[in-house]
Chain A
Amino acid sequence: MTPRAELREPSRDELAAAQQVVDLFAAEALLALDRYERSFPAAATDKPRRTADRLAHWWRRLEVDDVRLDPHGTDAEQILAKAVEMSVDPDNEWGVSLEEASAQAVNQAAIEGRTLPVSSMADLRKQFDDAYGGRADVPARDDEWLARSLTRFARASVLRDVVAEGAHVRVSGPLREAADDLVRQGQQLMDDRTNLARRQEAPISRREVLLRQARMTSAFFAYTMGVGLTGAPMWAELAMKVPALAVYVKGTNDAWMDHSNAVATRLDPAQAQLRSVRKGLADGLDTPTPATRRDTRALRNSPTHRPTQGR
């Protein structure tokens, strides 16, 4: 007889993990929309209309009309929500620009007495560039990145809404393995920066919950990147194709390093030495591609993978 598992934490853990994935892909979709908008010549007078048409086209194809884009969500989500609202508005013949959408998002937050979005498109671009160091491999076809990122966003939003309905979701074994790889690449994957900052002070009994939540986030992330994944993917290569992944890993590392620096003054020498080692590992993650290729070569050349034919 299989022992019954303990009663699980309430659904807020799953929901927080699912929402975090939605937030990440909302940011990616916004960056893709920004790139699409900037692909037009500066003098193109139909740019706002064509940008709105493309966004509305994929939005409707993905049937996300009733998706809850959170006007209280991340800055990226607030700007995307406003861009979508403008794009699908039948009375808006002009179209959309991200500059205008950002301004309207700020206005709406001010009117509603909410905290104003502080990140501009320039900030989001910088965050993206910092994560990639100019090595991003986004699709060359004009609207393909937009279509793919919105598709990931739509899949994440379905997952989030299923969880919000109170249904338990567990992804398949290969995807959980892929998520474990993601955790390893991200080194210290936490569910969000708030919990991350609390991690070291968290009671032992709470750490297990945090780790489970982190794994849940990465599993949902892996699921959302494509259910066709099998086995262990080449994460570094995939990161080039799914830009939100690198932003995610970098953000996690940054948050971890920020926290590490914050607690440094309380460390004794042995702890400080351990921290230094950990920082070295984290820095190594900033250049994942060479490490992964080296690992691949090592794997390929290992005795267990050498061809035995002819021996």
Chain B
Amino acid sequence: MTDENLSQERMSELLDSGEATPMLAGTEVGPTWYAGRWWYVPVEAAEDADYQPADPEKAERFDSLRRRAEAVERVQAELDGRQ
């Protein structure tokens, strides 16, 4: 682990405490917002590899994906409220 990385265990603690927020609710590992930046585990890395910060270009795409994920959850909540 480098100074720039976070272990999955540490990220799990941050998620539990609410300091970090997952992009996709219901995931144990995935893009996560913490300390004003996006963190992720590269898919080609080992299963238990550390989180690393996203570069600006990837962070921009993660922002866009987060907006889409939020839209899905809003519609889902509306549909669930219909029942």
Contacts and interface: CB of A to CB of B under 8 A. Distances in A.
A162 B72 CA distance: 14
B60 to A, nearest CB: 11
B43 A8 contact: yes
Contacts of B75: 58, 61-62, 147, 151, 154
B28 A63 contact: no
Interface in B1-54: 23-31, 40-49
What class of interface size applies to chain B in its complex with A? 20 to 34
Interface in A205-232: 223, 226-227
A171 B79 contact: no
A167 interface: yes
A158 B43 contact: no
B30 A168 contact: yes
A154 B72 contact: yes
What class of interface size applies to chain A in its complex with B? 35 or more
Interface string A134-148: 000000010010011
Given A158-B24, A161-B65, A227-B25, A11 B44 contact: yes
A148 B64 contact: no
B67 A63 contact: yes
Task: Report which residue of A141, A157, A172, A175 has the largest number of chain B beta carbons within 10 angstroms of its beta carbon.
Answer: A172
A63 B67 CA distance: 8
Interface string B56-83: 0010011011011101101110010010
Contact of B65 (A2, A62, A165): A165
A167 B44 contact: no
B17 to A, nearest CB: 17
A61 B67 CA distance: 12
18 contacts: A4-B46, A5-B47, A7-B46, A61-B74, A62-B68, A62-B71, A63-B67, A154-B68, A157-B68, A158-B24, A159-B24, A168-B42, A168-B45, A169-B30, A170-B30, A171-B28, A172-B27, A227-B26
Interface of A: 2, 4-8, 10-11, 14, 58, 61-64, 66-67, 141, 144, 147-148, 151, 154-155, 157-159, 161-163, 165-173, 175, 223, 226-227
Interface of B: 23-31, 40-49, 58, 61-62, 64-65, 67-69, 71-72, 74-76, 79, 82
Question: Which 3 residue pairs of A and B lie closest in terms of their CB atoms, listed nearest first?
Answer: A227-B26, A5-B47, A63-B71
